[in-house]
């Protein structure tokens, strides 16, 4: 008999119980060679109620991948969620596992992204789907997310109708 499947942490999250937008510590991975990586869940849209358009997701990914790395070397990766409701940001836990510290970096990264005139790395040679970008969509979504920064620490909302 095969081993049972090992599910990602997010598959055990009750997606009906959460209240977007939020920023959630979604996992901690101890590296065999020492050190730890933590994964942050940046949720822009309410699961199963809203989603970002793919070109917007793509441009946010490119923008934050650039602006967050410009601020700190502690960012390992930023990945779009396939459900198009948010992103995962994996970071060096030694520097960015504290909510207040991480969200300060995140807010600065978003502010810098809002000042961009072009999407970084969006030319045909730099990107695998260069046609699928929307800087307008990315800025609108990022501005809306940043506007609700005071809600980022509230992951589970009131019972919704
Ligand atoms: Zn790309």
Token digits of residue 121: 């790395």
Domain contains 155: no
Distance 119 CA to ligand 1 centre (A): 10
- Asked if residue 89 is part of any domain, the answer here is yes
Q: How far, in Å, is the centroid of ligand 1 from the Cα of 132? A: 8
Expressed in angstroms and rounded, the spacing between residue 155 Cα and the centre of ligand 1 is: 29
CA distance 90 to 97: 10
Separation of 161 CA from ligand 1 center, angstroms? 37
Contact indicator for 24, 10 with CB cutoff of 8 Å: no
**48 part of a folded domain:** yes
How many CB atoms sit inside 10 A of residue 26's CB?
Answer: 18
Give me ligand 1 centre to Cα 123, in Å: 9
Range of the domain at 64: 18-148
In whole angstroms, what is the distance from residue 23 CA to residue 139 CA? Answer: 18
- What's the total number of domains in the chain? 1
Q: Is 104 part of a structural domain of the chain? A: yes
| CATH code: domain of residue 48 | 3.30.1360.80
Q: Say how many Å lie between the CA of residue 150 and the centre of ligand 1.
A: 30
* pLDDT for position 159: 53
Ligand 1 center from residue 121 Cα (angstroms): 7
Q: Residue 9: inside a domain, yes or no?
A: no
- As residues whose CB is below 5 A from the ion ligand 1, the structure lists 127
DSSP sequence for 19-55: -SSEEEEEEEEE-TTS-EEEEEEEE-S-TTT----HH
- Does residue 8 fall inside a structural domain? no
Please give the Cα distance from 94 to 142 (Å, whole number): 26
Digits of tens for pLDDT over the chain (161 positions)? Answer: 678 898 888 898 999 999 999 999 999 999 999 999 999 999 999 999 999 999 999 999 999 999 999 999 999 999 999 999 999 999 999 999 999 999 999 999 999 999 999 999 999 999 999 999 999 999 999 999 999 999 999 999 865 44
Question: Omega into 138 within 30° of 0, i.e. cis?
Answer: no
Cα-Cα-Cα-Cα torsion 51, 54, 57, 59, nearest 10 degrees, comes to -150
What is the Å distance from ligand 1's center to 68 Cα?
A: 16
Residue 57 counted as domain residue: yes
Task: Identify whether 154 is part of a domain.
Answer: no
């Amino acid at each position: 008999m095969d081993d049972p499947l090992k599910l990602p942490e997010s598959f055990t999250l009750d997606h009906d119980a959460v209240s977007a937008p939020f920023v959630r510590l979604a996992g901690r991975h101890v590296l065999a060679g020492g050190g730890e990586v933590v994964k942050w869940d940046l949720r822009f849209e309410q699961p199963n109620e809203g989603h970002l358009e793919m070109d917007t997701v793509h441009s946010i990914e490119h923008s934050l991948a650039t602006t967050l790395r410009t601020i700190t070397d502690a960012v390992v990766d930023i990945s779009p969620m396939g459900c198009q409701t948010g992103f995962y940001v994996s970071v060096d836990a030694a520097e960015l596992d504290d909510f207040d510290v991480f969200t300060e970096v995140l807010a600065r990264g978003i502010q810098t992204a809002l000042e961009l005139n072009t999407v970084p790395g969006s030319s045909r040679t730099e990107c695998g789907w260069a046609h699928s970008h929307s800087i307008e969509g990315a800025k609108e979504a990022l501005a809306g997310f940043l506007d609700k920064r005071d809600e980022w620490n509230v992951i589970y909302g009131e019972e919704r109708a």
